[in-house]
């Protein structure tokens, strides 16, 4: 984990002022009481105008307007890309001509190997200005209206620094997330994608899949009418952004397919035990899972290891 360090800024520019970007802006302003300027940039005027109306940002600009984009980036300390991961390279290519030498760019993408490749392709020799990051936090709601000042409190943020990044740039991005209340750790991008495929990407796919399975059944309406707490808890994340999770699945397909195959093998064992009426095998597996889940919860669920080994 990174040692806690103070954070101040003169100007933060957020591309995609929705749940993630909006929550960071609110956290820095309301939780950390920082007074720097927050500029929002979006392709849709409606989204940034809403953020401006709510007081989440101080100024709004259109991604398609060169003059407005240059003004938004002028004097920026930090730029956050809070957009679906497939948009990373086009966004970086769009802003590259307007980036000043002192500006640090980071992102909030749920995958990192593809983001690093996109940054290298878009920025070339200026890639040292880009510090890859991933705040592991969210809600089933999206958009700036869902933004919360405490979304990141005691939540994990992973940074995947590049060899080219100056240490002070990485530390500055870490300090920004710490000011929002997060616990910041470090991994390389390959390890990040393997770990998150297991504990984040796979659960989302399974949640979407269960809802899809019921939708395809002839008595779907009846099943939904009797769904209760267990179904609600398991499928909560199926209300997440389809665009974002489409991009995550495609971007991290190798690691995600490996996790899906492993999960399918476990399901096959469970199916065989159910088919054989092997209650003892089922109870043993369920008990093992119960203990592991309880221990994870008792550890605080969100507390990371002291550091992640680079593999």
**Same domain, yes or no: 143 and 212:** no
The set of residues, in sequence order, having a beta carbon less than 8 Å from that of 2 and lying 6+ positions away, is 159, 171, 174, 175, 178, 184, 185, 186
**Same domain, yes or no: 179 and 229:** no
Question: Which of 186, 202, 230 corresponds to the end of one domain?
Answer: 186
Q: Is residue 200 part of a domain?
A: yes
Q: Is residue 222 part of a domain?
A: yes
**Same domain, yes or no: 175 and 204:** no
Q: Is residue 304 part of a domain?
A: no
* Contact of 42 with 56, CB cutoff 8 Å: no
DSSP 262-288: HHHHHHHHHHHHHHTT-HHHHHHHHHH
Q: Is residue 211 part of a domain?
A: yes
For the segment 175-202, what is each residue's pLDDT rounded down to a tens digit? 999 999 999 999 999 999 999 999 999 9
**Same domain, yes or no: 176 and 232:** no
Question: Which of 155, 186, 217 corresponds to the end of one domain?
Answer: 186
pLDDT value of position 150? 96
For the segment 208-244, what is each residue's pLDDT rounded down to a tens digit? 999 999 999 999 999 999 999 999 999 999 988 898 8
For the segment 72-125, what is each residue's pLDDT rounded down to a tens digit? 999 999 999 999 899 999 999 999 999 999 999 999 999 999 999 999 999 999
**Same domain, yes or no: 49 and 163:** yes
What's the domain range around 245? 192-298
User: How many structural domains compose the chain?
Assistant: 2
Spell out the alpha helix ranges (H) of 134-239.
167-179, 189-196, 202-215, 220-226, 229-235
**Same domain, yes or no: 16 and 152:** yes
The reported pTM is 0.86
**Same domain, yes or no: 176 and 203:** no
CATH number at residue 292: 1.10.3660.10
The set of residues, in sequence order, having a beta carbon less than 8 Å from that of 186 and lying 6+ positions away, is 2, 158, 159, 160, 161, 307, 308
**Same domain, yes or no: 61 and 143:** yes
Which tokens is 132 given?
């890859």
Percentage of the chain lying above the pLDDT 90 cut: 87
Confidence class for position 302, pLDDT limits 50, 70, 90: low
Q: Is residue 63 part of a domain?
A: yes
CATH number at residue 36: 3.40.50.720
**Same domain, yes or no: 141 and 18:** yes
pLDDT value of position 249? 95
């Amino acid at each position: 984990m990174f040692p806690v360090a103070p954070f101040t800024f003169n100007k933060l520019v957020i591309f995609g002022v929705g749940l993630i970007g909006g929550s960071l802006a609110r956290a820095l302003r309301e939780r950390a009481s920082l007074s720097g300027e927050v500029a929002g940039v979006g392709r849709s005027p409606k989204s940034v105008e809403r953020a401006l109306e709510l007081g989440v940002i101080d100024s709004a600009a259109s991604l398609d307007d060169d003059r407005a984009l240059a003004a938004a980036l002028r004097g920026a300390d930090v730029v956050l890309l809070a957009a679906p991961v497939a948009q990373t390279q086009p966004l970086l290519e769009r802003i590259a001509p307007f980036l000043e030498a002192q500006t640090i760019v980071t992102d909030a993408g749920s995958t990192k190997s593809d983001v690093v490749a996109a940054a290298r392709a878009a920025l070339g020799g200026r890639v040292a200005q880009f510090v890859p990051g991933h705040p592991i936090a969210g809600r089933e709601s999206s958009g700036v209206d869902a933004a919360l000042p405490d979304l990141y409190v005691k939540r994990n943020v992973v940074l995947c620094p590049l060899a080219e990044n100056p240490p002070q740039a990485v530390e500055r991005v870490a300090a920004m997330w710490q000011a929002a209340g997060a616990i910041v750790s470090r991994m390389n991008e390959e390890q990040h994608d393997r770990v998150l495929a297991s504990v984040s990407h796979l659960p989302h796919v399974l949640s979407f899949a269960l809802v899809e399975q019921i939708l395809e059944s002839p008595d779907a309406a009846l099943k939904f009418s009797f769904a209760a707490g267990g179904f609600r808890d398991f499928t909560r994340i199926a209300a997440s952004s389809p665009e974002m999770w489409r991009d995550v699945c495609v971007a991290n397909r190798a690691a995600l397919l490996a996790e899906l195959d492993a999960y399918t093998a476990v399901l096959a064992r469970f199916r065989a035990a159910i088919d054989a009426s092997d209650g003892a095998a089922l109870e043993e597996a369920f008990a093992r899972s119960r203990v592991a889940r309880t221990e994870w919860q008792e550890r605080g669920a969100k507390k990371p290891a002291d550091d992640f080994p680079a593999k």
